[in-house]
A and B are shown apart, each in its own frame.
Chain A
Amino acid sequence: MTGTGDSMDAVGFDSTTGFLDRGGCLRTAVRLADASRKERQPLGALWLDLDRFKQVNESFGHLGGDAVIGRLAAQLRDEFSARAEICRMGGDEFVFLVPNCSRAQAEEVAGDVLRAVSQPIELGNIRLRPSGSIGVALFDPVEDPLSFLERADRAMIEAKRLGGGRYVISGDERVPGRLGVLLAREELAIESKIHLALESGGLTLHYQPIIHFDGSIEAVEALMRCNVAGESIPPSKIIPVAEKTGLIVRLGEWSMLNAAQHARHLSDLGLPTRVAVNVSRAQLTAPRFIEALYSAFYCADIAPELLELELTESLFMDISDTVQANLQAAKKAGVSLAIDDFGTGYSCLADLKNIPASKLKLDRAFIRVLPEDKRSLAVVRAIGQLARELGMIVVAEGVETVEQFELLADIGLDAVQGFHCARPMDGQALVAWLRNRR
């Protein structure tokens, strides 16, 4: 497949190995990229660089280095020329252009190349065990072939940074974000969107009511929505990046203040309602959490009782002294605490006595299988009983059917949250919803 044999002296080929040279590589990349666009077939590029090759050259001279390259080139030609266009970019760098190549296939080829490279080479009486670093890029039809190759090159540099002897797929590299944290490229894009959202109005809170069985409102849970340039980014993508970069503290403070302001707004309209806001472990362990909490209800000018903190399950991995102290201080401030998603993940029964919470929210995993799953029903009943004896209110999350609603009322839980009662809605819709219920 690649240029070998009689075409060795032709323009576009490397005279030592017979592979395509740098110019030939680019021309071939352009041709294959065009074909990839037209035929809608994937195209992969692998950029290989030998690890510590400079030391081989220094120890054995360039002749030694050339011997290694020559041996390796023969091996690569034997194994890969049927699958890929092979190019020598100069020195110890090679590029493999692999047509019709999915991500899985690219990973397979990368693994094979790394194995081939690491075959021992005898140099005089020395046995060398080379290794290589590979960057893999999959062609995106909207990009130009040069940036496609550059992505493979960058991914290779990342593979080297990680210690070599491995491959990295472009898009998975870790690069420094604005706060100096190493992030994968997708995470980096999300980080920049969070910054944008925080600085130009891309964040909003939606609210989902929590309702007693007699129809009265227990509280509304504030749920963050992030929309940047018309793209909605789900919390499942935002939260992990925000936690890594520390932006979770800013997002958390923003949520607390906005939830408090909405509580104030509802009070002003004669619809006083407690607003619950989610708080993660990262927030509770950050400096000045309590001061920020006070700042929120001072800014909004509300009584602390109108704010509730829902403690997410990540908190329960390790309840440190800082977390414990912050929870006690929040309680002392007059803010009520709820344990969210109880019963799955890291939460356990011991938390019920360790955390000064007055509300327990049963995870939807128990509820969605009701009424059929009798074992879940038994768990719900038992937790409900236990929580009541501890003086806690018990809320069932994810209630979607009338059967579930009636069953949970029969069991004697206190309140429910879920599509059966109300979907999350924006602040304005919540006002209308609350008014309609009066």
Chain B
Amino acid sequence: MTDKVFSAVTLGDAIDVSINDIGIPPRPAILDRIGREMHLPEPDFHHLEQLICSDVALAAGLLKVANSAYFGFRTRARNVIQALTMLGLDVTSRALAGLILRRVFKTVHGLEQFWDFSARVARTSGWVAQQLELPGIVPADEAYTFGLFRDCGIAILTRRLPGYIDVLRLADADGEKNYTAIEDAACPTNHALVGSLLAQDWWLPAETSLAIRHHHDVLVLDRGESVLSAASGHLIAVAQLSEHLVQRATQQFQNREWDKLGAACLRQLNLDEAAVSTLENDVPPEVVADGV
């Protein structure tokens, strides 16, 4: 793994946005516009370039994504239109969704550390997807986006439900019960469902949205393709394994999810404990541990 992946998914310090208290915004207009262009027989890349370039930080972020090791392009994208051409519209749309979500999260007061952790899980997920060579099932950028969005429901519910953090503490400490069932017992909904709605609203692929919905559900994971597509199952497993690696490396945000889901995730990925140890040894510190 190289520094590239790490730098690729870092927006840089140039972003200066003040989203303050608006929480998670409705779907960004840029995603709608890209969606509309995707439907056209001949998408107007110049028009999209103008839209993206109107937000300098977004344009910079997209260039970094296109030049990241996730995609392994030999040539470097020097401008947005090259990045668009190299990535294609659907990957661009996912990348922009991830960049915007990061920006939003970073400004939600009190969740900075949680966001750091999510970003590490996302980066590690991208790295794991590359190591396991799953490009046909889970492209690295999709694993990365899933890692970012997987727990975004937590940010939304933290703002709306007083005492929600205490519920999460209970769920983190429980080694047996389903995580979202503990939330459901105390709250009208859970972070997985909220996150899947948001992902769908932001036009992320169905596999991502469905994987977010079921990412704590060991039964669904084990039932395989009758409920989830192979892609959704792999997304869940890659991110859960990555969370485990990040927790082992940083001792942060400890929970018992690997105890509950680990075996099912390894079955999903066809891995054994030895392979996990190898990944743990190999994962570069800048991916798994460094701040954002």
CB distance from A430 to the nearest CB of B (A): 15
B193 near A201 (CB under 8 angstroms)?
Answer: no
B200 near A198 (CB under 8 angstroms)?
Answer: yes
Q: Given that A227-B39, A228-B39, A298-B160 are known contacts, is A200 also in contact with B93, CB under 8 Å in the complex? A: yes
The interface residues of chain A, by DSSP majority, are classed as helix
Q: Given that A200-B90, A201-B35, A291-B184 are known contacts, is A298 also in contact with B189, CB under 8 Å in the complex? A: yes
B188 near A264 (CB under 8 angstroms)?
Answer: no
B39 near A299 (CB under 8 angstroms)?
Answer: no
CB of B23 closer than 8 Å to a CB of A:
yes
CB distance from A303 to the nearest CB of B (A): 11
CB of B45 closer than 8 Å to a CB of A:
no
Q: Chain B residues near A333: list those with CB within 8 A.
A: 188
Most buried by A among B27, B160, B188: B188
CB of B26 closer than 8 Å to a CB of A:
yes
B190 near A291 (CB under 8 angstroms)?
Answer: yes
| CB neighbors of A among B7-35 (8 A) | 22-24, 26-27, 31-32, 34-35
A198 to B201, CA, bound (A): 8
B200 near A250 (CB under 8 angstroms)?
Answer: yes
Q: Chain B residues near A253: list those with CB within 8 A.
A: 197, 200
Q: Tell me how many residues of A have a C-beta within 8 Å of chain B.
A: 31
CB of B157 closer than 8 Å to a CB of A:
yes
CB distance from B264 to the nearest CB of A (A): 21
A230 near B39 (CB under 8 angstroms)?
Answer: yes
Complex interface: stretch among A95-103, A137-145, A160-168, A254-262: A254-262
A271 to B98, CA, bound (A): 31
Partner of A292, one of B161, B189, B203: B189
B193 near A258 (CB under 8 angstroms)?
Answer: no
A261 to B28, CA, bound (A): 12
Q: Chain B residues near A198: list those with CB within 8 A.
A: 200, 203, 206
CB distance from A310 to the nearest CB of B (A): 20
Q: Chain A residues near B153: list those with CB within 8 A.
A: 295
B206 near A199 (CB under 8 angstroms)?
Answer: yes
Q: Chain B residues near A202: list those with CB within 8 A.
A: 35, 39
Q: Chain A residues near B197: list those with CB within 8 A.
A: 253-254, 257, 292, 295-296, 299
A200 near B198 (CB under 8 angstroms)?
Answer: no
| B contacts, CB < 8 Å to A | 22-24, 26-27, 31-32, 34-36, 38-41, 90, 93, 153, 156-157, 159-161, 184, 188-190, 193-194, 197-198, 200-201, 203-206, 209
* A-B pairs with lowest CB-CB distance, top 5: A201-B35, A291-B189, A294-B188, A261-B26, A294-B189
Known contacts A258-B26, A291-B189, A301-B159; 9 further A-B pairs (Cβ under 8 A): A198-B203, A201-B34, A201-B203, A229-B39, A254-B197, A257-B200, A295-B194, A299-B194, A299-B198
